[in-house]
Amino acid sequence: MSNTNSLLVTFSNKKGNKMASSILISFALLASTLFFMSGTSSAQLTHNFYSKSCPKVFDAVGSVVRAAVAKEKRMGASLLRLHFHDCFVNGCDGSILLDDTSSFTGEKTARPNVNSVRGFNVIDDVKKKVEGVCPGVVSCADILAISALESVLALGGPEWTVKLGRRDSKTASFSAANSGVIPPPTSTLSNLINRFQAVGLSTRDMVALSGAHTIGQARCTSFRARIYNDTNIDAAFARSRRSNCPRPSGSGDNNLAPLDVKTPNSFDNAYYGNLISQKGLLRSDQRLHNGGSTDSLVEQYSKNPRSFYADFAAAMVRMGDIRPLTGRNGEIRKNCRVPN
């Protein structure tokens, strides 16, 4: 700053006061522009966003999530999936949590979500707990991100440093959630790669994040065609799944089966071993190891859990960076289900 001022003084002595005034105005505009640019930059997500405004936010979220997962192991997978389905539709903005209103139809009844996504009551409980600690401070979008971490930790998985500072959307989009941005369980490998690339995630990120299917369960409607029609499936595994998923559509549609047949309630790398043994429950899972470009990565994760954990953690951070609302955009909802 001092060097710039001295240059202005020297220039004004040579060219006169009029030119100096012009330079000063230009300098003021430049300084103003830099100020606003720095403001935009500082509005991005940070690891310590709530360090002063809500230092106990992780304790508050974690206590509720751990209790919910202890009560029902499946809930850990459900909360993790909420974060994923939120981020893939118009960014990580908490829009998936919004109920329908007179002005918009939300995402809850879109094809990838209806009769499928769950855990909304737990998020309500988390929000209530957080509001009791620091009212009006923490967004529902950030609560989803922290709940995903706490769910994985509760089931024995890796830790990562969650970036925070997201704000909540004021609306949701049924059509966006229905547009195919969330890959269906029938996806081809190329569709999986393309859908993840569309939101800035690599093929490696996709394979690592698919490892979230080491926990959770799927409905019969999601895997019926695979267990009755596919040939790239272990015969004994297919027979075992058929016992709880009748062939006729409409019969047993909501019956559940674990996505990971070996350790369904532990966050580990067994999922990848299942794929190598052709015991992937969903078509989209098995296509990660089916003679294609991702086979070697599946085999790597199967042999090296540390590699999987490191890549999963890094991919979760990158997924959390998808188009967040920050700064003055959006709002901090009082109730995660409705705009303020």
- Separation of alpha carbons 325 and 141, rounded Å: 9
First to last CA, the chain: 44
Active-site choice (83, 85, 213, 289)? 85
User: Is 47 among the catalytic positions?
Assistant: no
Dihedral angle sign, alpha carbons of residues 226, 227, 231, 234: positive
CA 151 to chain centre: 13
Written as six digits, the tokens of 297 are 């990565």
Cα 20 → chain centroid = 53
Q: Whole-angstrom Cα distance, residue 217 to residue 282?
A: 11
How far apart CA 100 and CA 107 sit, in angstroms, is: 8
> What is the residue-wise DSSP string for 197-212?
HTTT--HHHHHHHHGG
Close Cβ partners of 241 (under 8 Å, ≥ 6 residues apart): 223, 227, 257, 281
Residues with catalytic function: 85
